[in-house]
Chains A and B, each alone.
Chain A
Amino acid sequence: MALAMTLLTLALLPFAAALAIALTHGARRIVHSGIAGAASSGGLALLASLAAPALNGPAPSATWAWVPALGLDVTLMVDPLGWMFALLILGIGLLVVIFAHSYLDMNEDTGRFFASLMLFQGAMLGIVIAGNVLLLLIFWELTSLASFLLIGFWQHKAEARQGARMALAVTGGGGLALIGGMVLLGLAAGSFDLATILTRGALVQASPLYPAILALILVGCFTKSAQFPFHFWLPHAMAAPTPVSAYLHSATMVKAGVFLLARLWPVLAGTELYTVTVTTVGLVTMVFGAAVALFRHDLKSILAYSTISQLGMLVMLLGFSLEAAAMAAVLHILNHAAFKAALFMSAGIVEHETGTRDIRRLGGLAKAMPVTALVATLAAASMAGLPPLGGFISKELMLYQTPKLALFGTAWLLPVLATIGATFSVGYSLRLAAHLFFGAPREAEPFARAHDPSPGMWAASALLTGLAVLLGLVPMLLAAPLVGAVTGAVTGLALPEVDLALWHGVNLALVLSMIAVAGGVALLWQHKRLLGLWDPASLPDAKRMFERAMGLADRWTRRAIVATHTPSLQTMLLATFGVTILLVIEGAVTGGGRLTGTRPALPATLPAIIAWALLVAATLAVVVQSHLRLRVLIIVSVIGLVVSLAFAVLSAPDLALTQISVEVVTVLLLLLALNLLPKRPPLISSNVRKARDGAIAIAGGVLIGGIAWAMLTRDPGPSIAAYHLANAKSGGGGSNVVNVILVDFRAYDTLGEIIVLGIAGLGIFALLDSAARGAAGARLRAWRADMPHSPERHPMMLVAASRIILPLTLTVGIYLFLRGHNQPGGGFIAALVVAAAFLVQYLAAGFDWSDARKPFGEHNLIGWGVLVAMGTGLGAMVLGAPFLTSWFDYFALPLIGKFELASAMLFDTGVFLTVLGAVMLALAQLSHIAQRAARAAEEHEA
């Protein structure tokens, strides 16, 4: 249990920090960075407490069921691989927080920055400790979103916005592919639990789905880890503040793809398809990225392309599907995280102190900023793979592995290309250090400003560089146990022999390494001449291509919309009705069978036939006279009346009560609206159109009526009604089964419905509250009642009668509510009756008089109603029962006698309040706006 809580705290801590920072948004910079730093340190402490079990196994893990039906569990698992990545994420995260505290200006929106940073940290941490692939996907998507916020942090800069959007489009698009791949993987492996999937490699590789799984997952990994040809977003993401680049592009975001490749190694690696694809993509990316990096001038751009290249190397190593190559990759992940974060921070320092990142304007900075120069030069040397630094050992291991794989059947291909890539790496690393810190200053102005920053800014990069040095000097002490355990976790095999040393004697790797260093020095020496030969215009501009592709997608989407959608409601409704009618005809023709079934009919009484005739006549009248709007309203209410009579006769007293009270408020609503709408609009439909619509209407009526007839003359299938009837009294404590269904059996549905009703009410408020402005406001002010008005605005008789009616109606409403559980009535009906009572006051005495006296606000009613209903459900959960479980019991009081108390009653109170609020909000607002308009018109006339 303690272990489970540790894991959960570890996962949630960054999110809690993000929330805390967001809540203290207005506070000073130190508060934000303090919270972020404390959370990162706390995470590191938790991680340290997990070190022994995580590295020695079995891996600590804990599971909480989330959506068991989908196989989605919250499973957290810290195995050696996850532990190492968590260490990088939290450790470098802490250093980045320290660095960012000094780097960001006081005036920057540090609250937003650190909140986004912690959100990102939480997402990233989630990826590496998720023990369920669906959970992993959620965190994966979250990193894309959080990195979008971070890259676009300087919202006022166009290139920041564009870079953020491009990163989101590429990594988010890859994320979609990954979702497909992971779901297929889960299906092929028969589980979404990561630990289970990792043991089923043979099953997955034998599955016919394997090629599709591999392709989709690789697209996800390659987009995230900026592999060719998806690499182009990474250089544009450099528009982010430098701490973000140091974090996202050294240890975290771009390593997520590498992490996933390593994570799924036992399942995916080893096949011909995997080896060739992954190795080739990694190799191409490594050589290409290194070549481009050689010729960039922006410090961060050099680092971006070098990151692409180094990621290519990691991907290539994992592609080999060899244990020793995987070990080289693990070691290089550590090395790269250390030296690349240090270099990004150093680039940030240089920019901060000189005002430029253009390497052509800088030079000789070692004199002005010796500490920065020492730190950055050592880090660059590690990146170049020079002894005695960490980068040298991992590069040796890499070169040592290359002859073991004959790519495309050619044994020399990999060693030669890898050596070329390594040569370029030496070249750009040396150039970075040499052109930045040594030689003569190229321009005076940046040099004159340059000086070392406060230790707060260089401490983090110095620490990281120190690690990069120690990884070379004492690798067995510092890294060997970790690298061994992690490699074992990657391959799923027994722990490998780890032998890390600077000197292994003279072998092929050493020779290749020496060639690379010599070549790199030659590149630096001839750099100016090579730069002349390098034509950046010959490279396709990925940004322009991306924008063109987005433009094309935009255009084709618009075309597709124009082709399939018309902005005319009439046309769309015509199509909807037409297609529905055709589908019904098709069903009737192909279905066969007789129209009339065998269920015995109920003979109709004369009053029923008269009511039916009334309904038919009223419907016809509405259609024919729809232009005489006031009259039509009266006729429409006749239809509602007949429908409620039908409910009353056909054993549905609750429906009859609901229908009739809804009818009252609906007619009131339409009356109020009609007051403002044009009353006698011209007839604008042509006769041809009317004939066409009439034909469609008759066809629809005959068909739907036919379906109803066919249904009514057949016996129903097996019904679940018996369950409801049997359990309503004994289980739900009420004899009105309809009400018990609403507030108990299917209370969840009812909760959803009252929320919808509440939203409709608030939507109406939003539509009307702002109607007094702009063009609508002008029309309202010009509005003039064009019907003869009674000289008495509030007729005395009506006012007096309505005041007497109010308490009576309220009593009826309360009565209906109280008896609702056992007799026809309940929250819905009571609310409508009470609303009608209040609305009569508005009608009789006017909005102002009534509004000033009403004891409640409609918004509060809606809010409290939903909260009460929800609280009833949650109350059941607090008591250990499922959501919305009801409770009831019988009590006795002197004088009153035996009575029942039920939690469903409380739920029904929530229904009552919400319905009352929504209805009142709609009608009161409407009458208010009519009054506002009328008053404005009166002032206008006066």
Chain B
Amino acid sequence: MSYEFLVASAIGVLVAGGIYLALRARTFQVVLGLTLISHAVNLFLFASGRLELGRPPIWDKTVSEYTDPLPQALVLTAIVITFGMTAFVVILSLRSFLETGSDHVDGDTVPCDAQDGLAEDEEP
């Protein structure tokens, strides 16, 4: 087992899980799917600088070997932007649920009021 195998297979597993969840009908599942895919994408971008152990890109007079800092800088902002995107999508799906009473991604099918305690006529 090498680190390369672990990272590549982890990316594959995250992508597979993410695609499956993104294709579900409920907004929450789709958000989870996007989260998994985002992890995979960030890992992939990071991996494009190749894997190195113990060579952080912190400059020092006595060190001559570093890992590539550029993918790290790109991924750092990508992680923060991922948060922004996730937050926006979550709020968007929440608002859509509040407006329509359905958390189906296409907004129209089976309303779920009956099961979820949002119906006004249902007593505890």
Chain A residues positioned under 8 Å from B17 (CB to CB) = 619-620, 622-623, 697, 701
Chain A residues positioned under 8 Å from B19 (CB to CB) = 577, 693, 696-697, 700-701
The answer, among A705, A774, A828, for a CB contact under 8 Å with B12, is A705
User: Which has the most chain B C-beta neighbours within 10 Å: A567, A721, A823?
Assistant: A721
Q: Mark A146-160, 1 if CB is under 8 A from B, else 0.
A: 000000000000000
Task: Give the complex CA separation of A622 and B79 in angstroms.
Answer: 21
Chain A residues positioned under 8 Å from B32 (CB to CB) = 622, 626, 632, 636
Chain A residues positioned under 8 Å from B31 (CB to CB) = 670
Residues 522 to 577 of chain A near chain B (Cβ within 8 Å):
567-570, 573-574, 577
Which among A20-28, A197-205, A248-256, A655-663 touches the partner chain?
A: A655-663
Question: In this assembly, does A499 line the interface, its C-beta being within 8 Å of a C-beta of chain B?
Answer: no
In the complex the two chains form, is B68's CB within 8 Å of A643's CB? Answer: no
Q: Mark B72-111, 1 if CB is under 8 A from A, else 0.
A: 1101110111111111101111110111110111100110
In the complex the two chains form, is A640's CB within 8 Å of B116's CB? Answer: no
User: Which has the most chain A C-beta neighbours within 10 Å: B6, B31, B54, B67?
Assistant: B6
Determine the residue in chain B with the shortest Cβ distance to A770: B95
Task: Give the complex CA separation of A938 and B2 in angstroms.
Answer: 56
Chain A residues positioned under 8 Å from B56 (CB to CB) = 651-653, 824
In the complex the two chains form, is B88's CB within 8 Å of A639's CB? Answer: no
Determine the residue in chain A with the shortest Cβ distance to B76: A658
- What's the least CB distance linking A140 to chain B, in Å? 38
Size bin of chain A's contact surface: 35 or more
Residues 1 to 28 of chain B near chain A (Cβ within 8 Å):
1-28
In the complex the two chains form, is A763's CB within 8 Å of B1's CB? Answer: no
The answer, among A604, A646, A655, A693, for a CB contact under 8 Å with B76, is A655
Task: Give the complex CA separation of A148 and B35 in angstroms.
Answer: 47
Question: In this assembly, does A470 line the interface, its C-beta being within 8 Å of a C-beta of chain B?
Answer: no
- What's the least CB distance linking B67 to chain A, in Å? 4
- What's the least CB distance linking B5 to chain A, in Å? 7
In the complex the two chains form, is A918's CB within 8 Å of B13's CB? Answer: no
In the complex the two chains form, is B72's CB within 8 Å of A756's CB? Answer: no
Chain A residues positioned under 8 Å from B20 (CB to CB) = 623, 693-694, 696-697
User: Which has the most chain A C-beta neighbours within 10 Å: B26, B72, B101, B110?
Assistant: B72
Chain A residues positioned under 8 Å from B18 (CB to CB) = 697
Known: A697-B20, A750-B77. A708 touches B7 (CB 8 A): yes
In the complex the two chains form, is A623's CB within 8 Å of B21's CB? Answer: yes
Determine the residue in chain B with the shortest Cβ distance to A580: B19
In the complex the two chains form, is B116's CB within 8 Å of A643's CB? Answer: no
Task: Give the complex CA separation of A636 and B38 in angstroms.
Answer: 12
Determine the residue in chain B with the shortest Cβ distance to A629: B28
Question: In this assembly, does A592 line the interface, its C-beta being within 8 Å of a C-beta of chain B?
Answer: no
Which among A172-180, A318-326, A488-496, A729-737 touches the partner chain?
A: A729-737
Task: Give the complex CA separation of A673 and B76 in angstroms.
Answer: 25
Q: Mark A591-624, 1 if CB is under 8 A from B, else 0.
A: 0000000010111100011001001100110110
Question: In this assembly, does A215 line the interface, its C-beta being within 8 Å of a C-beta of chain B?
Answer: no
Chain A residues positioned under 8 Å from B76 (CB to CB) = 654-655, 658, 738, 742, 828
Size bin of chain B's contact surface: 35 or more
Task: Give the complex CA separation of A786 and B99 in angstroms.
Answer: 20
In the complex the two chains form, is A735's CB within 8 Å of B69's CB? Answer: no
- What's the least CB distance linking A581 to chain B, in Å? 9
Main secondary structure of the interface of A (DSSP, over half): helix
Known: A649-B53, A721-B70. A669 touches B80 (CB 8 A): no
Task: Give the complex CA separation of A567 and B77 in angstroms.
Answer: 32
The answer, among B10, B36, B106, B118, for a CB contact under 8 Å with A570, is B106
The answer, among A615, A651, A709, A918, for a CB contact under 8 Å with B54, is A651
Question: In this assembly, does A794 line the interface, its C-beta being within 8 Å of a C-beta of chain B?
Answer: no
- What's the least CB distance linking B38 to chain A, in Å? 10
- What's the least CB distance linking B59 to chain A, in Å? 4
The answer, among B21, B40, B83, for a CB contact under 8 Å with A666, is B83
Determine the residue in chain B with the shortest Cβ distance to A712: B4
Residues 24 to 51 of chain B near chain A (Cβ within 8 Å):
24-32, 35-36, 39-40, 42-44, 46-51
Task: Give the complex CA separation of A295 and B77 in angstroms.
Answer: 69
The answer, among B1, B9, B23, for a CB contact under 8 Å with A577, is B23
The answer, among B47, B95, B110, B112, for a CB contact under 8 Å with A712, is B47
Chain A residues positioned under 8 Å from B100 (CB to CB) = 775
Chain B residues positioned under 8 Å from A763 (CB to CB) = 88, 91
- What's the least CB distance linking A744 to chain B, in Å? 10
Task: Give the complex CA separation of A616 and B11 in angstroms.
Answer: 10
Chain B residues positioned under 8 Å from A599 (CB to CB) = 4, 50
In the complex the two chains form, is B106's CB within 8 Å of A677's CB? Answer: no
The answer, among A567, A622, A681, A738, for a CB contact under 8 Å with B116, is A681
In the complex the two chains form, is B50's CB within 8 Å of A716's CB? Answer: yes
Question: In this assembly, does A684 line the interface, its C-beta being within 8 Å of a C-beta of chain B?
Answer: yes
User: Which has the most chain A C-beta neighbours within 10 Å: B58, B92, B104?
Assistant: B58
In the complex the two chains form, is B72's CB within 8 Å of A652's CB? Answer: yes
A–B complex contacts, Cβ < 8 Å, 11 sampled: A573-B22, A602-B4, A643-B43, A682-B115, A696-B20, A697-B16, A700-B19, A708-B12, A721-B68, A728-B59, A738-B69
- 9 nearest interchain CB pairs? A705-B12, A701-B16, A678-B116, A601-B2, A776-B98, A697-B20, A709-B8, A760-B84, A741-B73
Other A-B pairs beyond A678-B116, A709-B8, A776-B99, 19, CB < 8 Å: A570-B106, A599-B50, A604-B2, A612-B6, A622-B17, A651-B66, A655-B76, A678-B112, A693-B24, A696-B20, A704-B40, A708-B7, A708-B43, A712-B47, A725-B59, A742-B76, A824-B58, A828-B77, A922-B91
Interface residues of B (CB under 8 A from A): 1-32, 35-36, 39-40, 42-44, 46-60, 66-70, 72-73, 75-77, 79-88, 90-95, 97-101, 103-106, 109-110, 112, 115-120, 124
